[in-house]
């Protein structure tokens, strides 16, 4: 694969060549990760050196391991555990936060490092109780983290590493102020890594200027690279009603195992879902207004294959990692080419 990153080593074949602790390498082997992905090959050595990084890479590129492994490596030899929060990972959505927690737990399974999750849609008091036990690594979404902070339940002053994942999307979702506040709370941090799927606009540049120190920029994707092996088609339509008919035609005539229909709004997601159900198509709908339990259930069922179609507002569903997804319909123009 042709990469945009000029310093990428030509052959980075195995994880053991990274200066990672043996307990982490054991977890990597347990997970059957053999070859690092390009983003891992580029980011892990620099992150291990303690550099601030700005990484442009998509979900599916292996970016989670690219920041989780160096982060855990920093904490693996800590003598005192669960005294202070040492690392904070900020993400835009609950689903992404849950997925990331899972990866952190898998990579830290042979260490004493404990992680915790703070997102909306979960019990506030239970979270506060979890925070009293002080996880080494905290993963969460900005809104609820701020609420816990304002309630006096969260001390971020000992955070050594701060990760902003899907930073462009967090900004799109209006989290700029919350992100800044949380970054300020991590004032004693030694390293910040910022990941975004797109190169972003002025808001992202502004955030980068505020939170990163002399960062290296790793560009790991481009539109053309992502399009390899994917057949892309633009279908023009005059209005939403016609689009809905086209969606139904596509679902009836394309061959696929799993399809996602992205819409720009919750309302359109619900409408499309209604039309599909009326046509006896087994589908689920996912958006921010859904109860957290329903969202989890919809995603699980879709992943397991008990429904073939998921209708989702793009905010609710970005960054999901779903095997076997082979048809994506953007009901509205996607926000960016990436």
CA distance 219 to 145: 29
CB of 134 to ligand AMP, least distance (A): 26
Asked if 237 and 246 touch (Cβ cutoff 8 Å), the reply is yes
CB 231 → ligand AMP: shortest distance, Å? 22
Shortest distance (Å) from residue 144 CB to ligand AMP: 22
Smallest Cα–Cα separation from 19: which of 54, 47, 53, 55?
47
Per the CB < 8 A criterion, the answer to whether 116 and 135 are in contact is yes
Among 61, 93, 148, 192, binds ligand AMP (CB under 6 A): 61
Stretch in the footprint of ligand AMP (CB under 6 A) among 61-69, 137-145, 275-283, 295-303: 61-69
| Gap between the terminal Cα atoms of the chain | 17
Q: Which of 12, 56, 64, 191 binds ligand AMP (CB under 6 A)?
A: 64
Point out which span in 16-24, 63-71, 154-162, 175-183 binds ligand AMP (CB under 6 A).
63-71
Looking at 56-64, 222-230, 241-249, 278-286, which segment touches ligand AMP (CB under 6 A)? 56-64
Among positions 297-336, residues that touch ligand AMP (CB under 6 A) are 321
Alpha helices in the chain (DSSP H): 22-30, 38-48, 63-75, 94-107, 124-132, 142-150, 167-172, 176-185, 202-211, 223-227, 240-253, 266-278, 292-304, 314-317
DSSP-assigned letters across all residues of 67-123: HHHHHHHHHTT-SS-SSS--EEEE-SSHHHHHHHHHHHHHHTTTSS--EEEE-TTS-
From 55-63, 130-138, 210-218, 239-247, give the range in contact with ligand AMP by CB under 6 A.
55-63
Q: Residues 11-50: x/- map of binding to ligand AMP (CB under 6 A)?
A: ----------------------x-xxx--x----------
Using the rule CB under 6 A, is 196 a contact of ligand AMP?
Answer: no
Q: Does 127 bind ligand AMP (CB under 6 A)?
A: no
Residues interacting with ligand AMP, by CB under 6 A? 33, 35-37, 40, 59-65, 321
């Amino acid at each position: 694969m042709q990469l945009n990153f000029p310093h990428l080593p030509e052959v980075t074949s195995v994880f053991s060549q990274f200066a990672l602790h043996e307990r982490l390498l054991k977890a990597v082997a347990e997970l059957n990760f053999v070859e690092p992905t390009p983003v891992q090959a580029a980011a892990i050595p620099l992150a291990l050196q303690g550099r601030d990084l700005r990484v442009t890479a998509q979900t599916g590129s292996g970016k989670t391991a690219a920041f989780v492994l160096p982060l855990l490596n920093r904490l693996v030899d800590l003598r005192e555990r669960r005294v202070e929060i040492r690392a904070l990972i900020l993400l835009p959505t609950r689903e992404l936060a849950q997925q990331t927690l899972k990866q952190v737990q898998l990579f830290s399974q042979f260490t004493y490092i404990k992680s915790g999750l703070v997102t909306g849609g979960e019990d506030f008091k239970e979270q506060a109780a979890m925070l009293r036990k002080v996880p080494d690594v905290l993963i969460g979404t900005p809104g609820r983290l701020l609420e816990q902070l304002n309630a006096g339940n969260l001390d971020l002053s000992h955070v050594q590493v701060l990760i902003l994942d899907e930073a462009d999307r967090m900004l799109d979702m209006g989290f700029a102020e919350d992100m800044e506040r949380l970054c300020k709370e991590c004032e004693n941090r030694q390293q910040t890594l910022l990941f975004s799927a797109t190169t972003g606009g002025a808001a992202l540049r502004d955030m980068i200027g505020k939170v990163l120190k002399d960062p290296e920029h790793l560009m790991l994707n481009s539109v053309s690279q992502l399009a390899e092996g994917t057949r892309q088609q633009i279908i023009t339509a005059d209005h939403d009603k016609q689009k809905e008919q086209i969606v139904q035609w596509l679902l009836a005539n394309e061959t696929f195992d799993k399809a996602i229909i992205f819409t720009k709004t919750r309302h359109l997601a619900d409408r499309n879902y209604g039309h599909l159900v009326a046509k006896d198509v087994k589908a689920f709908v996912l958006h921010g207004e859904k109860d957290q339990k329903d969202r989890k259930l919809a995603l699980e069922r879709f992943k397991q294959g008990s429904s073939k179609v998921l209708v989702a507002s793009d905010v609710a569903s970005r960054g999901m990692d779903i095997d076997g997804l082979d048809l994506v319909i953007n009901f509205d123009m996607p926000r960016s080419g990436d």
